[in-house]
Amino acid sequence: DAAQAAGIALTMVGVALIFSQVAVTRLQWPPLRMIRVGGCVSALGFASGALADSVMMLWACYFMAAAGMGWVFPAFQALAANAVEAGEQGATAGSIGAAQGLGVVVGPLAGTLIYAFDPRVPYLMAALLLLLIALWPAPARQ
């Protein structure tokens, strides 16, 4: 049943996000490392999703993708907060929230459009973008 499969997939995402948040507090990695590792883990999950041949494999892929994103999200917020003055942090946090909200709207719309080419393309596109972010050169220290 599709509704049950979707519900389990969303549960896997939620559980993965919880586990990754626990790991973030224990690992105490700097934000850039969390983005690099989390982006690669998430990219692997999305790329594997393109190859999933069963619903259980797809659930595992969603779990992996969400676990990686659970490291990327807080690292991005930390980098943004550290890049501005104390008085600008509220506006920065609001901008990040708005950007994430925009992603929740635009992502599925874009995914639906490219799904028409091949059902694997949205997963592969997400993996490619995450790898690009994870492997992007670090800015020179100032």
The pTM (predicted TM-score) of the whole model is 0.89
Do 31 and 78 contact (CB within 8 A), yes or no? Answer: yes
Q: Is 122 within the bounds of a domain?
A: yes
Contact 24, 70 (CB under 8 A): yes
How far apart (Å, rounded) are the C-alpha atoms in residues 14 and 135?
26
141 domain residue, yes or no: no
Tell me how far apart the alpha carbons of residues 96 and 80 are, in angstroms, rounded to a whole number.
8
Question: pLDDT digit string (tens) for 89-119?
Answer: 899 999 999 998 999 999 999 999 999 999 9
Domain extent, residue 14, equals 2-135
pLDDT, tens digit (0-9, with 9 covering 90-100), for 66-81 = 999 999 999 998 998 8
Tell whether 93 is covered by a domain.
Answer: yes
Residue 44 domain flag: yes
Number of domains in the chain: 1
| Residue 140 maps to a domain | no
Looking at residue 109, which CATH number applies to its domain? 1.20.1250.20
